[in-house]
Amino acid sequence: MKAEQKEQLYEGKAKKVFATSDPDLVIVSYKDDATAFNGLKKGTIVGKGVINNRMSNYLMGLLAKEGIETHYVEELSDSDTLVKHVQIVPLEVIMRNVVAGSLSKRTGLPEGAIPSMPILELYYKSDELGDPMINSDHALAFGWATQAELEQIESMARKINEILKKFFAGVGVDLVDFKIEFGRYKGKIILADEISPDTCRFWDSKTKEKLDKDRFRRDMGGVEGAYHEMMRRIGLK
């Protein structure tokens, strides 16, 4: 281990973050707690913390091999990971390849409809406000990101989408949509947060069975089984 764990800095809906003896590094500890609808629905998905930690680390490694710089440093245990201490850009970036969830509600298009191109959406990262949808002008006007940062974030998000779509297609999964976040680290914009069934919509390519957090959101049952199936698909167990 490169750094000794110190005090807790933050606890969110799905993770705890701890300082370390190295100010450039923090430890992220994943929890089994589950929330939906901006925290209005709460529960537990047994084993989720381990699955999200290991899957996210695996995918961060995959992206790094394709030239995407990430916050990932070292997996410390099944639920704990050492990462770079970034300043999170207060934007959530959602890439949509298939109509689902809120996009279906906003447009009236049926879930499963395929847009003619991937859609990139920006949301202001604020639990108090419910993470409202914004555009790049808002981000610039209110100082949440610079023009150069926005261009880099959008370019990276589109590249990440293409890499992950291809990877998941290879294991029989449609990458319907996903949320990612970025951070500032030593003058660079890098990928942060996580990539997991909590932050992605995964559908079986043939049956369209949902293999993600929508099973929790919609009380569909089989939540733990879906998370474990995604681990199996990518070859982690």
* DSSP track, 5-34: EEEEEEE-SSEEEEEESSTTEEEEEE-SEE
CA–centroid distance for 192 within its chain: 8
Is the pLDDT assigned to residue 1 strictly greater than 80? no
pLDDT at 142 over 70: yes
Tokens of 49: 């913390």
Cβ-contact 55, 196 below 8 angstroms: yes
> Contact at 8 Å (CB) between 149 and 137?
no
Would you state the structure tokens that stand for residue 14, as one six-digit string?
A: 């799905």
pLDDT tens digits for range 9-46: 989 889 999 999 999 999 999 998 888 877 677 888 88
Domains of the chain with bracketed CATH: 5-84 (3.30.200.20), 87-233 (3.30.470.20)
CA angle 49, 203, 233 (to 5 degrees): 60
Rounded to the nearest 10 degrees, what angle do helices 48-65 and 223-233 cross at?
A: 30
Whether 133 shows a pLDDT value over 80: the answer reads yes
pLDDT number for residue 211: 96
| Cβ neighbour number for residue 218 with a 10 Å cutoff | 11
| Confidence (pTM) | 0.94
Backbone angles phi, psi at 228, to 5 degrees: -65, -35
Q: Tell me, what's the pLDDT at 42?
A: 84
What crossing angle do the helices spanning 147-169 and 48-65 adopt, rounded to 10°? 110
DSSP state of 69: -
- Model confidence at 162: pLDDT above 80: yes
Helix (H) or strand (E) holding 163: helix 147-169
Residue 6 has pLDDT above 80, yes or no: yes
For the segment 75-131, what is each residue's pLDDT rounded down to a tens digit?
A: 999 999 999 999 999 999 999 999 999 999 999 999 999 999 999 999 999 989 999
pLDDT in tens, 169-191: 999 999 999 999 999 999 999 99
Q: Which contiguous run of DSSP H or E holds residue 204?
A: strand 200-204
